[in-house]
Amino acid sequence: MKGFNYFAPSSMDECLKLLDSMKGRARILAGGTDLMVRLKHDMVREDNIIDITRLDGMQGIIRERGYVHIAPLATHSEVLDSYICDKLPVLKAACALVGSPQIRNRGTIGGNVMNASPAGDTIPALFVHGAALKLKSADGERLVPIGDFYTGPGKTVMKSNEMLVDISVPEAGGGEKGFFKKLGQRNALAISIVNVAVLLKVNQPGRVIEKASVALGAAGPTVIRCTQAEELMTGSALDGPDMLKEIARSIRESASPISDVRASAGYRAEMSASLFCEGMYELGVI
């Protein structure tokens, strides 16, 4: 492990001033489940580590005016244990499949978001829930929809002097339900080969889908929104296999995965459609 400079600011102002002065030569430490591994294997180019675990206002989950606000240091286990997050069914389902209990207890939602991995489990869930990210710097703050945040694997629109300070997510309303499915090389403790997040608003008497959000993880350089599939589902009752086959086909076509040691591109595209169909049957809307 290479040497680095360690900073543990005690206030937000101090942290933002450090970020501003380091001009992109700093990495932020939250839960550390990814960063510590990268440091151990000399995969971090920055020389400065800023530990934000002592900062006030960076922990907890609150509900306010129809939104759930998840602080960056909130862990996956906190989301699972929070009654507030019952309003975010797809995110809770995704958090339940992250790593092991130890990783869920230590790893943070903010860290998963900022890691910007296409295979990150919580990111597709946040996509379908319509999350927005509040970024703060010494110059001010801005709110970025999560769909506009990622530009490539490990890359985002965040500036070098900014940090994530809040994740705001609209509460799921009445008639909204969804699922998160992932495929890994094992049943647990596995990076997603591909994953699928779906949130639907269903008119129960006729089982008509009034609104649909579908996102794929590990199926492209960033999380992919399946807009064609969403359009096909909206206003439909999905009362036959032909419609489901057409939607599944559109999901396969939306995927643009790579081939690597874990799976081929074709397999990832096919399994994204299969996971979608499996989840839809389990959800009871087919």
Which residues is 144 bridged to in the sheet?
133
Alpha carbons 99 and 27: distance in angstroms, whole number: 23
Based on the fold, state whether residues 159 and 67 are members of the same structural domain.
Answer: yes
Return all residues near 132 (Cβ < 8 A) that are at least 6 apart.
143, 144, 145, 146, 167, 168, 169
Based on the fold, state whether residues 43 and 141 are members of the same structural domain.
Answer: no
Based on the fold, state whether residues 73 and 160 are members of the same structural domain.
Answer: yes
Q: Do residues 143 and 137 lie in contact, with contact meaning Cβ atoms separated by under 8 Å?
A: no
DSSP symbols for 7-39: E--SSHHHHHHHHHHHTT-EEEESS-TTHHHHH
Boundary-marking domain end, from 125, 142, 170: 170
Based on the fold, state whether residues 37 and 80 are members of the same structural domain.
Answer: no
Based on the fold, state whether residues 87 and 125 are members of the same structural domain.
Answer: yes
pTM of the model: 0.94
The CA angle 127-179-194, to the nearest 5 degrees, is 70
The string of pLDDT tens digits covering residues 124-178 is 999 999 999 999 999 999 999 999 999 999 999 999 999 999 999 999 988 899 9
Based on the fold, state whether residues 184 and 255 are members of the same structural domain.
Answer: yes
Q: Is 106 within a domain?
A: yes
Alpha carbons 106 and 257: distance in angstroms, whole number: 30
Based on the fold, state whether residues 251 and 199 are members of the same structural domain.
Answer: yes
Based on the fold, state whether residues 163 and 72 are members of the same structural domain.
Answer: yes
The string of pLDDT tens digits covering residues 41-85 is 788 888 899 999 999 999 999 999 999 999 999 999 999 999 999
The string of pLDDT tens digits covering residues 78-112 is 999 999 999 999 999 999 999 888 999 999 999 99
The string of pLDDT tens digits covering residues 238-277 is 777 788 899 999 999 999 988 887 889 999 999 999 999 9
